[in-house]
Amino acid sequence: MSAPPAGTDRVVVDLPNVVGTTDPYVLGAPGPWTRPAGPLTARRAFAAAHVVPLTTADNTPGRPAELDWDATLGFRHMLWSYGLGVAEVMDTAQRGMGLDWDAAAYLIRRSAAEARSVGGLLACGAGTDHLTPGRVAELVAGDREAGLHAVTDAYREQLGTVAAAGATPVLMASRALTAVARDADDYLAVYSTLLSEVTEPVILHWLGEVFDPALAGYWGAGDPHTAAATVLELLRAHGGKVDGIKVSLLDAGFEVWLRDQLPAGVRLYSGDDFNYPELVVGDDRSHSDALLGVFAAIAPAASTALQALESGDEAGRARALEILRSTEALGRHMFEKPTPHYKVGIAFLSWLNGHQPGFQMVGGMQSARSARHLTTLFRLADGAGLLLDPDRAAHRMRAFLEVAGITPEETR
């Protein structure tokens, strides 16, 4: 390894460059992050948390998830310590990409107990992913009304688990409903039935096809404004049963337009991991709340920005925007196409920061991003002040690169 530059005690790690060799990289210091002294009230913010598998488990595609419960729940306690809510068993937790419903249901119960122990905010995804692809194919081929009833019943089962745990349900976008529904009326029928039955407000979930191609045409239309008309009809009829809607379309202009159309009292939770700084900070007129995967990766910075917003003044907004913009390049890189693999970046930063013992993911998904991508992620995280222990981060980065076959010139 290269020696630190003369006159400095900074941490140095040799990183690959564009010509296929390595250069010494000097790590910066962590950012001036703080934990809040009390609840954050200016914005309601959830970080969508990932899951950590046992390092000794068979973490290969198709195998059941075996979680490291200490690390998985410890990561959630870290998020709560920064005043963030936890969005549990969402897309970030590899829902439908390795984490099956049995494991998700157990995680909901475990996280709910942990949330109660610290007074943490918890929202949990309720969907239809326990319907197997074979069963969905049967529903598509059969009677449409029967198929819609089956999807509704599947939602009911998972809603019951979330409600019994005492968490806020997030009605997740459903691949099964996308396959069975023929038009907007079918979506309205399923969602109206469910909203008429819930006893506490829920969060709706609009996940764009950039995150999951199987959800193309959700709400019965490919055009987002046409789909929004269906959403708004639903909200006007059942607004008292809806706390808010999470919108993950990566279209800031559309998000601002939609939040201006929402009925009073219904929040727009931004799921835009590209444009979150301006959307969450907002202006004197409006802002988005947050339910973001990127907040799990930038929790210390996100919390410090949200604390600045507590002042309610222009100086606080300016400071919050400055902080969040300093993380924007990291977020955009993490969520670059293929966007569903953003989860790898969250797990990688979790490992670099000591929140999990190994860089592994359920189903072996850690292999979905290249060493080049993760090296850039390392640089951007450091530039944003989000490598909280530079010595540990550098040690782990060296180990990762060595396993990848990338070593300094002098050691070859």
**CA 180 vs CA 177, 196, 212, 217: distances in Å:** 5, 21, 17, 12
For residues 161-179, give the mean pLDDT.
Answer: 97
On the question of pLDDT at 303 being above 50, the answer is: yes
Q: Could you report the per-residue pLDDT of 191-216, keeping only the tens digit for each?
A: 999 999 999 999 999 999 999 999 99
| Residues contacting 311, CB < 8 A, separation 6+ | none
Q: pLDDT tier at 283 (50, 70, 90 boundaries)?
A: very high
Within a domain: 182: yes
Structural domain contains residue 29: no
Q: How far is CA 299 from CA 6, 77, 159, 190, in A?
A: 34, 12, 28, 35
* Dihedral angle sign, alpha carbons of residues 391, 396, 402, 406: negative
Residue 411: pLDDT over 80? no
Give a yes or no: residue 100 inside a domain. Answer: yes
76 and 114 Cβ atoms separated by less than 8 Å: yes
In a domain, 359, yes or no: no
In this predicted structure, the answer to whether residue 182 has a pLDDT above a threshold of 70 is yes
Q: What is the mean pLDDT of the chain?
A: 95
Mean pLDDT within 217-226: 97
Q: What pLDDT is recorded for position 19?
A: 85
Predicted confidence at residue 409, as pLDDT, reads 65
Whether the per-residue pLDDT at 392 is higher than 90: the answer is yes
Residue-wise pLDDT for 255-280, tens only, equals 999 999 999 999 999 999 999 999 99
CA–CA dist 63, 58 (Å, integer) = 7
For residue 339, is it within any domain?
Answer: no
* Overall number of domains in the chain: 1
Q: Please indicate, yes or no, whether the overall pTM of this predicted structure exceeds 0.75.
A: yes
Within 8 A by CB and 6+ apart from 194, the residues are 152, 155, 156, 159, 171
Q: What is the CATH number of the domain that holds 255?
A: 3.20.20.70
Mean pLDDT across 297-311: 98
Closest CA to 53 of 83, 115, 97, 116: 97
Long-range contacts at 186-189 (CB < 8 A, ≥ 24 apart):
186/144, 186/148, 186/220, 187/218, 187/219, 187/220, 187/230, 187/234, 188/230, 188/233, 188/234, 189/148
Is residue 52 in some structural domain? Answer: yes
- Round to whole Å and give the CA distance between 44 and 40: 7
pLDDT at 155 over 50: yes
Mean pLDDT, residues 49-61 taken together: 96
In a domain, 17, yes or no: no
Whole-number pLDDT of residue 346: 98
The DSSP 8-state label assigned to residue 263 in this structure reads P
The two most distant CA atoms of the chain are separated, in Å, by 75
Chain segment 4-17, per-residue pLDDT in tens: 444 457 899 999 99
Q: How many CA within 13 A on the CB side of residue 241?
A: 16
Provide the domain limits for residue 88.
40-329
Whether 229 is in a domain gets the answer yes
